[in-house]
Amino acid sequence: MINVLIVDDSSSVRNYLAYVLGSDPQLRVVGQAKNGNEALQFINRQMPDVVTMDINMPVMDGLETTRKIMETTPVPIVIISANWEPENVALTFRAVEAGAISLLTKPTGIGTPQARQWEVETVATIKQAAMAKVRRLRSKKGMSLIRHEKKISFKSEHNSGEYGVVVIGASTGGPPVIKNMLSSLPADFPVPIMLVQHISRGFTSGFAQWLDSQSQLKVFVASHSQRIRQGCVYVAPEGFHMSVRDGGYVTLSDDPPEYSVRPAVSYLFKSAAQVYKNRSVGVLLTGMGSDGAAELKLIRNAGGVTFAQDKASSVVHGMPGKAVQLDSADYVLPPDQIIIRIMDIVIKGIKNW
């Protein structure tokens, strides 16, 4: 059984969540709280396996509650937020930075087909969260345990010229890792970056805006036929696969899901291997499942350089772990080391250490 604590100031949302989660035989709602103070008191008495967390609450909001939980008694936290409110979106990604591992929108239109889809996604997300590995936050406000590397500055002409694209895939636990990696890169990083992050519908735009605010690079939600340029990061939009075609242009597609997801990391990696071949760098980060693991090997087989996040630093080692099993990765490293190696590869052309 997976024991769940529901934290939300709306009694109707709490009751609906309790009904949805209670309908699954593997999930058990062990408590409800209408604000952060009540949630902390409950956790002091009984440690749940997963906490669902509202953001905008009286007394103590979801961001502060997430920080306090992750600083004292770390537990997987799933944020359930009203994503259409800009203030909530900003707080939501600050909560992710503080240690929350997954995001869901608040339910709307109970009884509709969309609500049924939300129920299925919610149950699956809670189960995934229960398998996640969480770490204690340092008590300093907003600081995570992932190390920030000193930013490296260089002149663009120092680029070795051997590489044309960096492609990154991630799922559960990915957003704070990606944020820390991108924030370590200089504004004149000479290679475009393309990114597929599995994230709940409605959060992609906020995710890109958050990354843009935390990085010297320019971060966009990708659009069809957009030209990819150095110093820029292109995030796959929700509901569409993203790939790169000859000449360095984005292609978006509503082709069927791969590995049950769209956008899929696999779709992007396949295109990088086909178009850029040995001029591509592939990175597979923390996440549930196996999306991108086999396709990372296509990049390696084409002569590109490939990385998988190591188990110790992964919230969930599913995707990178599968890549290791398939011998898809040239290097298996924590994110701070991956970004250093990418700098060496892209700027200096160093492939072996």
Catalytic member of 49, 54, 61, 291:
291
Query: Residues with Cβ < 8 Å from 15, sequence gap 6 or more?
Result: none
Q: Where are the beta strands (DSSP E) in the chain?
A: 2-7, 27-33, 50-53, 77-81, 102-105, 165-170, 193-197, 218-221, 232-235, 241-245, 249-253, 280-284, 305-309, 331-333
From CA 268, how far away is CA 168, in angstroms rounded? 9
Upper half-sphere CA count for residue 16 (Cβ side, 13 Å) = 18
CA distances from 159 to 164, 248, 307 (A): 11, 18, 20
User: CB of 271 within 8 A of CB of 169?
Assistant: no
Q: Pairing mode, if any, of strands 218-221 and 232-235? A: parallel
Based on the residue annotation, tell me whether 241 is a catalytic residue of this protein.
no
From CA 89, how far away is CA 282, in angstroms rounded? 29
Question: What are the strands of the beta sheet with 218-221, ordered from one edge?
Answer: 218-221, 232-235, 193-197, 165-170, 280-284, 305-309, 331-333
Based on the residue annotation, tell me whether 291 is a catalytic residue of this protein.
yes
What six digits make up the tokens of 160? 């070795």
User: CB of 67 within 8 A of CB of 61?
Assistant: no
Based on the residue annotation, tell me whether 158 is a catalytic residue of this protein.
no
CA distances from 219 to 63, 106, 210, 292 (A): 24, 26, 9, 22
Catalytic member of 144, 198, 200, 280:
198
Catalytic member of 81, 102, 144, 171:
171
Active site residues: 171, 198, 291
